[in-house]
Amino acid sequence: MPGAGVLLHCGDRTLDLRRPQVMGILNATPDSFSDGGRFVSSDAAVEQALRMVDDGAAIIDVGGESTRPGAAAVTVDEELQRVIPVIEALRRHSTVPVSIDTSKPEVMRAAVTAGAGLINDVRALREPGAAQAAQELNVPVCLMHMQGEPRDMQHSPHYDDVVAEVRAFLATRLAACRAAGISAPLLLDPGFGFGKTLEHNLVLFHHLQQLTTLGGPLLVGVSRKAMIGAVLDAPVGQRLYGSVALAALAVWNGARLIRVHDVRPTVEAIRMIEAVANAARC
């Protein structure tokens, strides 16, 4: 279980990455929390978040833009309308740290003002104004690798050496963020499923440890993804055991934060990995 173990200060709340932890996924999109119409129900979203906290999630990741393969872009206003009420309600009902899953500087600013303490950006602060917003907001940021854009990223992913290229991308973005004056902690994420074939994902996972030496704690998100569906020939509703297996393997190989839908089973698997990792010869 290699990798960087640190206490992350997320605004007024703390995320203890001295132990591997689970990030609970909260999709603030109408397909997830609709009251039958076009609006996200904050009540239903907060209820699910509180359940994830009870199950052991150390942070809740709120997202209003779907970044699944084929997903269309959303406007700033739409994204704000989805995530801000959920963040505000979550802040009222819990002391858990909140992460905002966005690439838009306007959403980063409004979300951190509403109480989010970490920025999770699948575009690694490459959108115009995003790096400056993150620098000013001074909260930890997760930088993720993606080839292409969600709409077309799975059309023809190509790498000469996926491990070397993802590693170099993360190193370059880390250096660019430091050069832009960002001094808050930076997490790094290989971006499983983001412009990668099944083989790319498996090779990247096999060599995950090579990303632990870049200098930032590693975040891994594989929960219910197509790579599990492809190996198991299973629809999205039958990917729990595959997801938990990969979460455990990721932690064993140095990941510090695992982004998941199914919090309780993942927390239990991680606690067992931790017990073995910490065992001393006697």
Q: Which is nearer to ligand PT1, 41 or 67 (by Cβ)?
A: 67
With CB atoms as reference, the residue minimizing the distance to ligand PT1 is 221
- Of the ranges 61-69, 85-93, 210-218, 238-246, which one interacts with ligand PT1 (CB under 6 A)? 61-69
Q: Which is nearer to ligand PT1, 96 or 246 (by Cβ)?
A: 246
Q: Based on the number of CB atoms within 10 Å of its own CB, is 186 exposed (0-12), middle (13-18) or buried (19 or more)? A: buried
CA atoms of 109 and 195, how far apart (whole Å): 28
Least distance between ligand PT1 and beta carbon 14 (Å): 19
Binding mask 117-156 for ligand PT1 (x = CB under 6 A): ---x-x-------------------x-x------------
Least distance between ligand PT1 and beta carbon 280 (Å): 33
Q: Hey, which residues are catalytic here?
A: 225, 259
Q: Which is nearer to ligand PT1, 33 or 194 (by Cβ)?
A: 194
State the number of CA atoms in the 13 A half-sphere of 83 facing the CB: 35
- Of the ranges 77-85, 203-211, 219-227, 239-247, which one interacts with ligand PT1 (CB under 6 A)? 219-227
Q: Which is nearer to ligand PT1, 53 or 219 (by Cβ)?
A: 219
User: Which residue pairs from 198-207 have beta carbons closer than 8 angstroms and sit at least 24 positions apart in sequence?
Assistant: 198/226, 198/227, 198/230, 198/231, 200/157, 200/159, 200/162, 201/227, 202/227, 203/162, 203/163, 204/162, 204/163, 204/166, 205/246, 205/249, 205/250, 207/163
Binding mask 2-21 for ligand PT1 (x = CB under 6 A): --------------------
Q: According to the binding rule CB under 6 A, does residue 28 interact with ligand PT1?
A: no
Q: According to the binding rule CB under 6 A, does residue 221 interact with ligand PT1?
A: yes
Q: According to the binding rule CB under 6 A, does residue 189 interact with ligand PT1?
A: yes
- Of the ranges 33-41, 46-54, 218-226, 262-270, which one interacts with ligand PT1 (CB under 6 A)? 218-226
Residue from 194, 210, 211, 62 nearest 123 by CA: 194
Contact 109, 133 (CB under 8 A): yes
Q: According to the binding rule CB under 6 A, does residue 173 interact with ligand PT1?
A: no
Binding mask 224-243 for ligand PT1 (x = CB under 6 A): -xx-----------------
